[in-house]
Amino acid sequence: MKVLREKIQDEGIVLSDGVLKVDSFLNHQIDPYLMKEIGSEFARLFKAEGITKIVTIESSGISPAVFAGLELGVKVIFARKKKSLTLTDNLLVSSVYSFTKQEENTITVSSQFITESDRVLIIDDFLANGEAAKGLIEIVKKAGASVIGIGIVIEKSFQKGAEELKDLGYRVESLARIKSLTDGKVRFVEDQVEVRV
């Protein structure tokens, strides 16, 4: 997605060889117009799949997920990283390690919102080692539902998550795929492809 790659080049800050900061439009400040375009792109990619529900994780996955949900005409569930007093029902639980926050999170989804007949699209902001995505897959499976695909805003293709998920048979659609962050520069997998063409 060209507009996203350009935004990352213009506004992304490379903190280290492994960490890209996109706080100006995705992870802290949100650009609603870009989020709408991202949501539309996810909807376009998965519109033929009969998606009945989107599952994401708080907080940065919510914006892209709601715009995709609006366009696909389905509801969005965000997994919680912390238990709320009002989240008291039968819970689907999984454990996710966050490298960015250096902590283990128990993520939870109330079982009443995912049924066995659901065809679920998982959406998240980043895909690195795939911890969050695998946690969400585990939750969807515990509900007896089907994971139809995984939509990612920014994939760090130099980490193992995308490949592992594809090896497990999942369709992964990442709107920007980062090949490397070395020397403080963002290089996209897509750049390479374009050069070859």
Q: Residues marked as binding for 5-phospho-alpha-D-ribose 1-diphosphate? A: 128-132
Tell me if 193 contacts a copy of itself by CB under 8 A: no
List 70, 142, 159, 191, residue binding a copy of itself (CB under 8 A): 70
67 close to 61: Cβ distance less than 8 angstroms: no
Tell me if 172 contacts a copy of itself by CB under 8 A: no
| Residue 64: both structure tokens together | 């892209």
| Spatial distance between the Cα atoms of 163 and 194, rounded to a whole number of angstroms | 21
Amino acid type, 185: K
List 44, 47, 75, 160, residue binding a copy of itself (CB under 8 A): 75
H-run or E-run covering 152: strand 146-156
Count CA atoms closer than 13 A to 152's CA, side-chain side.
Answer: 26
User: Interface residues for a copy of itself in 94-113 (CB under 8 A)?
Assistant: 100-102, 109-110, 113
> How many residues are given for the chain?
197
Dihedral angle sign, alpha carbons of residues 56, 58, 62, 64: negative
Residue 194 Cβ vs a copy of itself, minimum distance, rounded to whole Å: 28
Amino acid type, 153: V
Tell me if 122 contacts a copy of itself by CB under 8 A: no
Residue 197 Cβ vs a copy of itself, minimum distance, rounded to whole Å: 33
Which range, of 55-63, 131-139, 142-150, 159-167, touches a copy of itself by CB under 8 A? 55-63
Tell me if 35 contacts a copy of itself by CB under 8 A: yes
For 155, residues 6+ apart whose C-beta sits below 8 A from its C-beta are: 126, 127, 161, 162, 172, 174, 176, 177, 178
User: Interface residues for a copy of itself in 126-165 (CB under 8 A)?
Assistant: none
- Three-class SS of residue 62? helix
List 88, 116, 169, 194, residue binding a copy of itself (CB under 8 A): 88
Tell me if 69 contacts a copy of itself by CB under 8 A: yes
Residues that bind a copy of itself (CB under 8 A): 15, 19, 21, 23-25, 27-33, 35-36, 58-59, 62-63, 65-67, 69-70, 73-78, 80, 82, 84-88, 100-102, 109-110, 113
